[in-house]
Structure 1
Amino acid sequence: MDAARPALIRETFPVGPLQCNCTIIGDPVSKKAIVVDPGGNPETIMARLDKHGLKVVSIIHTHAHLDHFLAAGKMKELTGATLHLHQDDQFLWDGLEMQCQMFGVPYTPVPAPDRWLQDDEELACGCGVALHTPGHTPGSMSFWFADAKLLIAGDTLFRRGIGRTDLWGGDYPTIERSIRQRLYTLDEEATVITGHGPETRLGDEMRENPFVRA
């Protein structure tokens, strides 16, 4: 990493009824930012952005379960940012009302995604790449920020756990392959931001995760 370039601005905090981890990633030079998984509490997310002096240019989703995008529509309305998702999760995005009914969560309509995320696509701000890591859902994505040694894994990888595969489109062999082949090949020193709960270190999961080890 270029020593002259200041570190990315990063803040992660739980939002929404299911306490999904929402992450703000900001470029300290341009002050442009991406928001990952706005699962609720849009006022809180906006306040954190304002605190850092950041402007959102894109709202990206690790997957399309309701708890990861309940505030997406409001965030787009407030910021004008574009919504991004992998196309294989479109059926979940289209079924948000059904998901909310199943989990007893109030339904708030969201607009269609503006762009489909692609595997190995460079993210806005030029600070990271999208990795297609299916298994929890068909379109599950992780986001890798190599210079910062930071991995946003969504519900694919947790601290000593992995994402459940018993919901719509989930598949255990697929999530195992995604973790082994895409995530466990990254820097062992990386900090992993999970979809819920505490952060972890990638090398610790490679050695100690009871479900998938390197």
Structure 2
Amino acid sequence: MPSVHTFPLGPLQTNCYLVANGEEALVVDPGGAPDAVLGFAASNNLQIRLILNTHLHFDHLYGNQALHAATKAPIRVPEKDVPLLASGIGGGNYMGMPKVEPFAYEPINEGELTLIGLKCRALFTPGHSPGSLSFYFPELGAVFVGDVLFAGSIGRTDFFGGDLETLLDAVRSRLFILPPETVVYPGHGPATTIEEEKRTNPFFEE
């Protein structure tokens, strides 16, 4: 059975997720030193095949290069966020935070994917960043949303390329149409479900 494992990493305790399927795994948003992720993979005989970024803000990127160096797994990033890497919000050295170690990447866009043998749908969910992608795995019943949606809240929209109405529309039109039992794995804080956020999130009260 595929499984999800959570590792809060880095200076902002960004949720890094390891998705395992058989002996293969992928990692979403390694936001700090990946030692714990690598240790878990080794102790469970998992091969990390891919690194995914939901968006290109510095706190989701700090572990990219170290994880790539240790595993040779390619890093795939939202194409519309790539310009952020040239700025403080993407490259670090921002708000007193350290710089992000440069990394090679392959850009991706919304659409259907197969990753470590699992079907995945990359959903375009801008608003927190201009190119943010959420990754929905129907076989897992899970969606990895970065900083677009949190338990009882939403991502901030005052960074470059952010926009409140764009974010609210993206959540309503692309996330809230997923099955209600879908588990939402956000970039910070606890997991939630689509049903719970539709019912109780104050930003979406009619």
The TM-score bracket by the shorter chain reads: over 0.9
Offset of 1:56 from its aligned partner? Answer: 1.2
1:58-73 equivalences in 2 (<5 Å):
58-73=50-65
Aligned twin of 1:139: 131
Deviations 1:81-128 (A, max 9, x none): 111111111111233587522222222422231x21121231421312
Distance between the aligned counterparts of 2:137 and 2:144, measured in 1?
8
Aligned twin of 2:110: 119
Secondary structure of the 1:49 match is helix
Distance between the aligned counterparts of 1:116 and 1:134, measured in 2?
16
Secondary structure of the 2:195 match is helix
Distance between the aligned counterparts of 1:59 and 1:50, measured in 2?
16
Aligned twin of 2:178: 186
Deviations 1:150-185 (A, max 9, x none): 111110000010111000100111111110000000
Aligned twin of 1:38: 30
RMSD: 1.6
1:12-161 equivalences in 2 (<5 Å):
12-28=6-22, 31-96=23-88, 100-113=92-105, 115-127=106-118, 128-161=120-153
Instruction: Verify the 8 A CA contact 2:3 2:140 in the aligned structure 1.
Output: no
Which has the higher mean CA deviation after the structures are superposed, 100-109 or 125-134? 100-109
Q: Would the alpha carbon gap of residues 132 and 97 (structure 1) be closer, same or farther in structure 2, given more than 3 Å must change? A: closer
Distance between the aligned counterparts of 1:169 and 1:97, measured in 2?
10
Equivalent residue pairs, number: 205
Distance between the aligned counterparts of 1:192 and 1:107, measured in 2?
29
Secondary structure of the 1:21 match is strand
Aligned twin of 1:9: 3
The unaligned stretches of length 5 or more in structure 1 are 1-6
Offset of 1:49 from its aligned partner? Answer: 1.4
Distance between the aligned counterparts of 1:51 and 1:157, measured in 2?
32
Q: Which has the higher strand share?
A: 2
